[in-house]
Amino acid sequence: MANRRPFTDILADNLPKLILAPSFLIVMICFYGYILWTVALSFTKSRMLPKWEFVGFDQYVKLLNNDRWGVASENLVVFGGLFILICLTIGITLAILLDQKIRQEGMLRTIYLYPMAISFIVTGTAWKWLLNPSIGIQNIVRDWGYTDFTFDWLVNSEMVVFCLVIAAVWQSSGFVMALFLAGLRGVDQEMIKAAQLDGASLPTIYRRIILPSLKPVFFSAFVILSHIAIKSFDLVTALTGGGPGYSSDFTSNFMYAHAFTRSQMGLGAASGVMMLGGVLAILIPYLYSELRNKGAK
Amino acid sequence: MAALTIDNVKKSFGTTQVLKGINIAIEKGEFLVLIGPSGCGKSTMMNSIAGLETVTEGRILIGGVDVTHASPKDRDIAMVFQSYALYPNMTVRGNISFGLEVRKVAKDERERQVAKVAKLLQIEHLLDRKPAQLSGGQRQRVAMGRAIAREPKIYLFDEPLSNLDAKLRVEMRAEIKKLHQRLGTTIVYVTHDQVEAMTLADRIAVMKDGALQQLDTPQHIYDRPANLFVAGFMGSPPMNFIKVKIESSQVLKIEVKDQYYQLPLMTDQLDAQYIGREVILGIRSEMITEPLAHKQALPYVKTLSLTAIMTEAMGPDTMVLAEFAGIELNCRVNPNYKVVLNQPCEFMFDMSKAVFFDIETKQIIEQVS
Amino acid sequence: MQRTSILEKLLRLGLYLILLIMAFIYLAPLLVMVLNSLKDVEEIRSGNLLALPQNPSFAAWSKAWGSACTGSTCEGIAPFFINSFKIVIPAVIISTLLGALNGYVLAMWRFKGSELFFALLLFGCFIPFQVVLLPMAMTLGWLGLASSASGLILVHVIYGMAFTTLFFRNYYVGLPKELISAAKIDGAGFFLIFWRIVLPLSPPIIVVTVIWQFTQIWNDFLFGVVFSGADNLPVTVALNNLVNTSLGGKEYNVDMAAALLAALPTIIVYVFAGKYFVRGLSAGAVKGA
């Protein structure tokens, strides 16, 4: 009896693999292959074009001694921390407030979320005007009579990072709110009813039952927000251009500047690798704890 | 020639062996039920017959043709799923004719088939509806219609009634049985509900841990279960098991601490080698009843005093949970028989259908022929 | 009970007040841009950003569209608008299609190694693109696609494919597996099942994916500024150039009009289809591992 399968059947059997093959190649080359390439490049002396002369960790040493890189990294950490914290706070607060059976919930939600649809370039440009001392908020408040009011953070090299935080929070907090709102809606109603029967007040219910059950949403939001923070390039370019000077530079702008406009490919590559390291430093513990939780279940 | 032959089929997932050498052969028109507890391998067996899973070893033959390596569409089978698996975006008509469409059956032939099936299952008025607009029972019918329209050699049913409520389940069970009688199709039916198995099957295959425990007609499985597992699994309430000692070819003794009771044996129930040894007695609840006058004189009947713990009125009889010497037994009595809880009460043991199991092998001890 | 109801009413009022103030804060920048795009430059410089325009006019808008200077050319942002569409539309279509097929395979035709591939893909969603810019630029050069629209489309497809696959796979995993088994027994093969059964069930996730991809690619700046050439700059790059070109003094009204024009497509998509996107989010399109 026929135990050998016809060729068309074998082809049909392997169709899924064939379909996935191109994407597989793309991922291996354009994601992981390129990373390796950039890592390799970071160990070379490349300037305007790649030059495969290996110089060990030279570029990294240069990087660590580079003043601009220092500023950029510090900016990223400060920005990242504030951005994530404020977004999470505003996000969950708005979500809780919106969850209280508001009549215009749909419209409010649309308003809070629309900034996410806008390019960071547009956001940066808009806030550039609002934060501009001569025509923006400082000017408006002074016009209202408070002639001593100053809000010139945008041109102050110490405070300019906070301008970036304001713009970024404006853009992304609505998204965090949407995540938390979905999470709140998914909370088990029976658990809440049981707590109410037990005599718990509304704030207590939120604090002891609802918030803890939103832990996964916190984590997802944290991961997504840190990803946005590390990638921030467009916002800086539009809002401050890295200035004044390079006091509001971020690592991503540093990388772009050195790799493409200042003909320092090796250094640029090294900075790119450092950025990847930053992402991994957050991602790997997160994945590890996720896997551990799944294993424990 | 057998309609379906499962020849020493083994299946492993990685290092876990899920099917340990299954041998089954069924004739054309036979209704075979695969039953067993969760994890026994019955669903894997079903999927292997369908071709949705490959087998690690062994062969599967349908109508004498080796289909072990054939894909599902080349096996000439149809399947009814537990969740019906109707295509949500197609109408009932579309669902039923999809398989025919794929096989490039001509349009008018397809329409004929759909009409025939719809008439048979009384779903003509539903043909233009989508699955979401149907009730559970109606979806069940459409799922069967989809299978019947293809007129396959074998029908596979994978726990089709599990998602229905109790009343509907009873109705659909009768429908399936009537269909089988009308169409004379070969059916393999998986279920975990032994009432379904007993009422529908021509033969039942009881499975446990990937191995076939017994393949026999429902009545035989009920009367002569092959081992302790089958005995305890089939029949509701479960069979009563008591550890006893065989005193002689006519008497057995139940001994607990310093009390003992005796029950009679029929002459050909046990092989002589078991005299003086311990075995497990299996006796069904309908064999422990209230004392019946017309049976008093029979040699294989004995009345004992038990203490009733709990009663359940079932309607036609009353189930009594009674105990003696720490052993709990399910008994069936006439609803009018007065039973006082926690008081001793008389119960009559009819040993004519008692079965015995070897304590070590757990297998049934064959009757002396 | 009267006392608590007054307290409740006050709290309720406070709640609405906070929400309204927040709504104003979120709308403020948009409002400012619209108001000031209707003014002339002198009015902006001497006045107040929040003041209403005295003689509202669309002069700034038409200048932004057709004659503003974006670096070396002064044709407004209209040509770049068209560039963006030329890039976005093919990129969205291709990356969505790829994502659908990949998601279909990963969810319903799993094989040894397919889950590993999914993990690699998921991980890939998180890499900062800075780390692939240089090799990608080199590769486009080798392929002769440097500074071309096709090159930029290719880049968007490659890096968008990770997200689209994620969306579709997470969605398809929620479809009942028995549906596929039934179709296999009915005799349907890989493509027939996709075409007749899976795809008709996909509209919700297709909408989510298309909206996401359109927004991401239209709003992209990094890939645009690195990989496009002077004759196919997307509108985000053009906008940045326009705003930073200040020959003869900043024309704030034109700049704002230009920014609004650049943001218009994605805002329109959001206003009309946003609720489907949020539904998709809740359904777990972005759940991750």
Tens-digit pLDDT profile for residues B34-90: 999 988 999 999 999 999 999 999 999 998 899 998 889 889 999 999 888 999 999
Alpha helices (H) in chain B, listed in sequence order: 42-50, 92-102, 107-121, 136-149, 166-183, 194-200, 218-223, 228-233
- Residue A169 reports pLDDT greater than 90: yes
Q: Give the minimum alpha-carbon distance from A72 to chain C in angstroms, rounded to a whole number.
A: 15
Which SS3 state, helix, strand or coil, does residue B311 take? strand
What is the Cα Rg of chain C in Å?
24
Task: Give chain B positions within 8 Å (CB) of A1.
Answer: 65-66
- Residue A144 reports pLDDT greater than 80: no
Query: Among B214, B301, B306, which residue's Cα sits nearest to residue B266?
Result: B301
Residue C186 to residue B81, Cβ atoms within 8 A: no
Distance (Å, whole) CA B348 – CA C132: 86
* pLDDT attached to residue C4: 66
Flag whether residue C110 sits within 8 Å of chain B, measured between CB atoms: no
Q: Is the pTM of this model over 0.90?
A: no
B262-294: pLDDT as tens digits: 888 887 777 778 888 889 999 999 999 999 999
* pLDDT attached to residue C246: 63
* pLDDT attached to residue B239: 94
* pLDDT attached to residue C288: 38
Q: Find the closest chain A residue to B66 by CA distance.
A: A1
> B338 Cβ partners below 8 Å, 6+ apart?
none
List, as own/partner pairs, every contact residues B123-128 make where C-beta atoms lie below 8 angstroms and the sequence separation is at least 24, other chains included: B123/B92, B126/B92, B127/B91, B127/B92, B127/B93, B128/B91, B128/B92, B128/B93
Distance (Å, whole) CA B84 – CA C176: 10
Mean pLDDT of chain A: 84
* pLDDT attached to residue A53: 82
- Per the CB < 8 A criterion, the answer to whether B218 and B300 are in contact is no
- Residue A296 reports pLDDT greater than 60: no
C206-238: pLDDT as tens digits: 988 999 899 999 999 999 999 988 888 999 999
**C178-192: b or e for each residue (b if 16 or more CB lie within 10 Å)?**
bbbbbbbbbbbebee
* pLDDT attached to residue A1: 42
Residue A223 to residue C288, Cβ atoms within 8 A: yes
Residue B102 to residue C181, Cβ atoms within 8 A: no
Distance (Å, whole) CA A228 – CA C153: 22
* pLDDT attached to residue C287: 43
| pLDDT band at C185; cut points 50, 70, 90 | very high
A57-80: pLDDT as tens digits: 888 888 888 888 888 888 888 999
* pLDDT attached to residue A79: 92
CB neighbourhood size of B307 (10 A): 14
Task: Give chain A positions within 8 Å (CB) of C275.
Answer: 106, 110
Measured CB to CB, residues of chain B less than 8 Å from chain A are 65-66, 68-69, 71
> B185 Cβ partners below 8 Å, 6+ apart?
B29, B154, B155, B179
- Residue B64 burial class via C-beta count within 10 angstroms: exposed 0-12, middle 13-18, buried 19 and up: exposed
Distance (Å, whole) CA B55 – CA B45: 9
- Per the CB < 8 A criterion, the answer to whether A254 and A69 are in contact is yes
Residues C23-47 have a mean pLDDT of: 84
A236-278: pLDDT as tens digits: 888 888 778 888 888 888 888 888 888 888 888 888 888 888 8
Residue B83 to residue C176, Cβ atoms within 8 A: yes
- Residue B188 reports pLDDT greater than 80: yes
Output the CA–CA distances (angstroms, integers) from residue C158 to A27, A31, B124, B291, C129, in the order listed.
Answer: 8, 9, 50, 84, 12
* pLDDT attached to residue A5: 64
Distance (Å, whole) CA B49 – CA B284: 35
- Residue A2 reports pLDDT greater than 70: no
Residue A125 to residue C236, Cβ atoms within 8 A: no
Mean pLDDT of chain B: 90
- Residue C1 reports pLDDT greater than 90: no
Residue C243 to residue A125, Cβ atoms within 8 A: yes
Residue with tokens 């607990």: B256
Contacting partners of chain B (3+ CB pairs under 8 A): A, C
Structure tokens at C240: 């940045």
- Residue B286 burial class via C-beta count within 10 angstroms: exposed 0-12, middle 13-18, buried 19 and up: middle
Q: Please give the DSSP secondary-structure letter assigned to residue C204.
A: H
* pLDDT attached to residue A247: 84
Contacting partners of chain A (3+ CB pairs under 8 A): B, C
A79-91: pLDDT as tens digits: 999 999 999 999 9
- Residue A201 reports pLDDT greater than 70: yes
| pLDDT band at C249; cut points 50, 70, 90 | low
Residue B89 to residue C201, Cβ atoms within 8 A: yes
* pLDDT attached to residue C285: 45
Structure tokens at B278: 């311990």
Within chain A, how many helices (H) and strands (E) appear? 15, 0
Distance (Å, whole) CA A250 – CA B67: 65
Closest to B79 (Cβ–Cβ): which among C176, C182, C197? Answer: C182
How many contacts does A have with C, using Cβ atoms within 8 A? 244
Task: Give chain A positions within 8 Å (CB) of B68.
Answer: 3
Contacting partners of chain C (3+ CB pairs under 8 A): A, B
B158-180: pLDDT as tens digits: 999 988 888 889 988 998 999 89
Task: Give chain C positions within 8 Å (CB) of B72.
Answer: 184-185, 187
- Residue B314 reports pLDDT greater than 50: yes
Residue C184 to residue B85, Cβ atoms within 8 A: no
The more confident residue out of B117 and A134 is: B117
Interface test with A, best of B5, B67, B69, B102 (most A CBs within 10 A): B69
Q: What is the ipTM of this complex?
A: 0.84
